Structure 1
Amino acid sequence: MRKLTATVLAGAVTLAAFTSLQAQNGPPQLPGQMDTKRVLAGTYKTDKNHSLIGFRYNHFGFNDYFGIFGDVDATLMIDPANLAGAKVEATVPINPTVASQGFHDHLLRGGQDGKKPDFFGPNPAPAHFVSTNVKVDGTKAKITGDLTLNGVTKPVTIDAVFTGAGNSMMGNKLTVGFEGSATIKRSDFGLATFVPMVGDEVDLTITTAFEKQ
């Protein structure tokens, strides 16, 4: 009985101490914070598990199709003392994840009766983006570069925003996050099937986590 009482008392004291310490220090802080001072000069690579590109376009005026490309393999070279000199290069596998299996299959199926595929076809080359110019305004940036998609290269501008930096809880790596958006015309890249009944403009939404190498 004495041992049980002592154990209960010890637990109560520990809980009280923890509660007091938490009250003094406040609630736990997220590892990533909107603090640009945490960003250090160097080369960063994407955390592929947490870097995605969403796409969305209209379907016959009724509603929008949307999906996600994952496994984004990108490199960021950045120096806070010279942000205009930042460089971004990204390779994006054409591996759409969508709500409809039928839509997924349509994007990747071959052409019928020897015709060209409606969209990418069964063995599409990855998309590739290389920045050519970066203009920074506070925590926002316009990143212009060359996008190669479906064998065609066109200039594209991404509106990007810094979303956080800090050491990750897994691996303790310095991580910086960004989100971005861009709009392209799929017909510019040889993907004009059903235009204009199916929307030509494709809205891209980008979310990336970069880890310092």
Structure 2
Amino acid sequence: MKTILLASALLAAAALPSFAQGLVTDGAKVEAGTYTIEPEHTRVRFDVSHFGFTKYDGEFRKVSGTMTLDPAKPDASKVDITIATNSVMVPNAKLKEELDGAQWLDAAKFPEITFKSTKVVATGADTADVTGDFTLHGVTKPLTLKVKLNGAGVNMVNKHYTSGFEAKGTIKRADFGVKTYVPMVSDAVDLDIDAAFEKTK
């Protein structure tokens, strides 16, 4: 049994370098086309300052959306993301209940958080500023995300062509009508997103 496990580990290790070498990190070389969010490996995290003592973080677990990518014309690329409001997860069960409620996100009344890009500006070989309409708590405001391409290539497990990105941005929740405990719990909310997209056509 140990011999089989060792052989499997060696085979996996041998496969990794060739897979890594196949990854594209230059945005101009990523395959053009239409992509769909791969939800199992996409995370939308956030953190706030809690009474100035610590940062408190959480994440949204249900994310869907599409991306149209044109490396030859980055400004023609588009992304459209939808997050289920009630998928917010935090370490404290009582806080999770509060966040879902009317005092905070009001998930029953506003079941979706969305981002629809309006402008894409390449800032480097693997970076771009993506500006769009961000809707939270029924309010829509412009938001610019700093986006970096992690890599693109064929996923060695499911064989789907995949592009992975990280994105960062900051919103002021009071601008969206979520004012509970401001400023003790910070108005500024930092967003940290890891998104995987699979090519569909």
Q: TM-score range by the shorter chain?
A: 0.7 to 0.9
Name the structure 1 match of 2:93.
101
Q: Contact 1:34–1:162 (CA<8 Å) still a contact in 2? A: no
Q: 1:29 aligns with which of 15, 18, 24?
A: 18
Task: Deviation per CA, 1:60-82: give whole Å up to 9, x if none.
Answer: 11112210112211211011111
- Note the C-alpha offset of 1:121: 2.5
Moved more, 62-71 or 85-94: 62-71
Name the structure 2 match of 1:203.
190
Name the structure 1 match of 2:117.
131
Q: How does 1:64-143 map to 2 (within 5 A)?
A: 64-94=55-85, 95-109=87-101, 117-123=102-108, 124-137=110-123, 138-143=125-130
- Note the C-alpha offset of 1:108: 1.2
**Number of residue pairs aligned between Structure 1 and Structure 2:** 187
Q: Secondary structure at the match of 1:121?
A: coil
Greater C-alpha radius of gyration = 1
Q: 1:42 aligned to 2:33?
A: yes
Name the structure 2 match of 1:113.
none
Structure-2-length-normalised TM-score = 0.85
Alpha-carbon distance change, 122 to 151 in structure 1, aligned in 2, over 3 angstroms: closer
Give, as a single letter, the amino acid of the residue that structure 1 aligns with 2:156.
M
Alpha-carbon distance change, 88 to 26 in structure 1, aligned in 2, over 3 angstroms: closer
Q: 1:62 aligned to 2:53?
A: yes
RMSD: 2.3
Q: Contact 2:29–2:71 (CA<8 Å) still a contact in 1? A: no
Which consecutive residues of structure 2, in runs of 5 or more, have no partner in the other structure? none
Structure-1-length-normalised TM-score = 0.81
Distance 2:15 2:31 in 1: 27
Q: Secondary structure at the match of 2:18?
A: coil
Runs of 4+ in 1 over 2 A off after TM superposition: 25-38
Distance 1:62 1:80 in 2: 44
- Note the C-alpha offset of 1:165: 0.8
Distance 1:170 1:27 in 2: 11
Distance 1:48 1:74 in 2: 9
Question: Percent of pairs identical after alignment?
Answer: 39
Q: How does 1:132-211 map to 2 (within 5 A)?
A: 132-137=118-123, 138-211=125-198
Distance 1:105 1:85 in 2: 40
Q: Contact 2:24–2:153 (CA<8 Å) still a contact in 1? A: no
